[in-house]
Amino acid sequence: MIDVLIVDDDFMVARIHRGFVERIEGFRVVASASTGEQAVAAVAEFRPHLLLLDLYLPDMFGLDVVARLHGTGHDCDVIVITAAREAEAVRRAVRYGAVNYLLKPFSFEELRGRLEQYAIRRNSLLTNDVCDQTDIDRALSCSAPTTTGSTLPRGLSSETSRLVEEILRNQPATLSAAECASQAGISRVSARRYLEHFAAIGRAAVTLKYGNTGRPERRYRWMGR
């Protein structure tokens, strides 16, 4: 069981995130904190394995919480969940050892993909000896080792997942859901579900293409191995 501390100054947002986490097998929320000082105290009391950490806290920047924890010897992992889109915030999160960075607002499936990915990486180091460089690369990789079988969200099939993955892998540039649907012979809505799943678990990157009117088009590029 992976113990999680949720750190967010918005009570309702923290409550929603708690509900998300508690729906995922193998994870449990041990506490919530709304300030940086509360987060530091909660880590000392509950010893969580993972922080879901907002960056905009009322008393300090979220990554300063990480610095405080490192300074006191606490080594819990951190997934940043924030609206902060500044490149420097992302770079600093990486320097501080964040295992993932998820922009608000996000869906349950997006969070679940990242938590399942984290669990796989964490458990691989807890249960296996490091035999060679491949084991190390797998543990450090941002991609999940598989997208088929039980790791897929409900309603997605492994056969179609492999088909969409193959199309995305072989795309020289970016791909829209409509373009993927045309190549795969499935509906645009279905194609987007698979593409968003790959994005949620870190195997596809998403960029926005802006037109003159309407919503920007989401375009996908393969990032996994």
Any idea what the CATH number is for the domain that residue 213 is in?
A: 1.10.10.10
* pLDDT at residue 68 is higher than 70: yes
- How does pLDDT run across 78-110, given as a tens digit for each residue? 999 988 888 888 888 888 889 889 888 888 888
93 with 8, same domain? yes
3-class SS at 30? strand
* Of the candidates 215, 192, 213, the residue with the CA atom closest to the CA atom of residue 204: 192
Residue that is last in its domain, among 67, 98, 118: 118
3-class SS at 135? helix
Name, in order, each residue with C-beta under 8 angstroms of 188's C-beta and a sequence gap of 6 or more.
177, 178, 181
Span 57-79, mean pLDDT? Answer: 92
18 with 100, same domain? yes
Task: Say which amino acid occupies 154.
Answer: R
Rg of the chain on CA atoms, in Å: 18
Domain that holds residue 206: 146-222
Is residue 126 situated within a structural domain? no
- How does pLDDT run across 12-49, given as a tens digit for each residue? 999 999 999 999 989 999 999 999 999 999 999 999 99
27 with 67, same domain? yes
101 with 203, same domain? no
Q: Count of domains in the chain?
A: 2
- Supply the pLDDT for residue 162: 87
Question: Contact 159/175 with Cβ under 8 angstroms?
Answer: no
Is residue 125 situated within a structural domain? no
12 with 113, same domain? yes
Long-range contacts of 62-67 (CB under 8 A, 24+ apart): 62/7, 62/36, 63/89, 63/92, 63/93, 63/96, 64/36, 65/7, 65/36, 65/39, 65/40, 66/96, 66/97, 66/98, 67/96
